[in-house]
Amino acid sequence: MEPPAPAAVPIFETDRPWNPGRPETLVVACSDGRLQMEIDEFLAARLGISHYDRLYLPGGAGALASSGSDFLRAYDLSAQCRGMIAAHATRHVVLLFHGPAPGGPDEAVCLDYRRKLPGGSAEAIRAEQERDAHELLESGMGPGVALSAYRCEVRPDGRMRVVPLGGSEDGSTRAPRRP
């Protein structure tokens, strides 16, 4: 079945008005749509975040880290991200990674990390994501910008759990160590 011609699609109007206020939070996550509802649930229920800027791209926060052979991509994306943070006066950046929990389904491994670490096991990728989170937290995203990093893990039962990364025991936000 073919999609309807553009002229045949009725105009949709939202009930909610546009919010002209800039969000103070930026969420950097993988573009993998299988996790979006669970990520939104985590952000709202655990962090109290429902109004946020989004940077969804393959690899999520890992795309900003210089691991693997993609240091030029990471440099370019980090520069673009920092530009967005400055332009939007962002005060908090949530860095999200994803993959299987121990014993979770292998198909939950981030495909961008599979590309960056060919042949790497889920455990090796998990360890690299931890290193990447630590690198990003240490390098910061600009003066006055708080950072937090988490890994969205698919459990063996298919549900998602979210664990803090980068040495934080409770996932609390961290101020950058250097401007």
Domain annotation covers residue 169: no
Domain annotation covers residue 14: no
Strands (DSSP E) contained in the chain are 25-29, 53-56, 92-100, 146-154, 160-164
The pLDDT of 136-149, averaged and rounded, is: 93
CATH of the domain at 156: 3.40.1050
Confidence of residue 71 (pLDDT cuts 50, 70, 90): confident
Domain annotation covers residue 179: no
Q: Closest by alpha carbon to 152, among 102, 106, 99, 113?
A: 99
Q: How many Cα atoms within 13 Å fall on the side-chain side of residue 68? A: 25
Domain annotation covers residue 125: yes
| Residues 162-178: tens digit of each pLDDT | 999 986 655 555 554 43
pLDDT at 50 over 70: yes
Output the pLDDT for position 6.
Answer: 65
The pLDDT of 83-88, averaged and rounded, is: 94
**What percent of the chain shows pLDDT beyond 70?**
89
Domain annotation covers residue 47: yes
DSSP conformational letter for 58? T
Domain annotation covers residue 100: yes
Please give the structure tokens belonging to residue 85: 């943070």
Number of C-beta neighbours around residue 31 at 10 A: 16
Q: Of how many residues is the chain composed?
A: 179
Residue range(s) defining the domain that contains residue 88? 22-164
Please tell me the total count of domains within the chain: 1
Domain annotation covers residue 16: no
Which value, to the nearest 10 degrees, does the dihedral of the CA atoms of residues 57, 62, 66, 70 take?
Answer: -50
The pLDDT of 133-158, averaged and rounded, is: 95
Domain annotation covers residue 89: yes
DSSP conformational letter for 2? P
Share the mean pLDDT of the chain.
Answer: 89
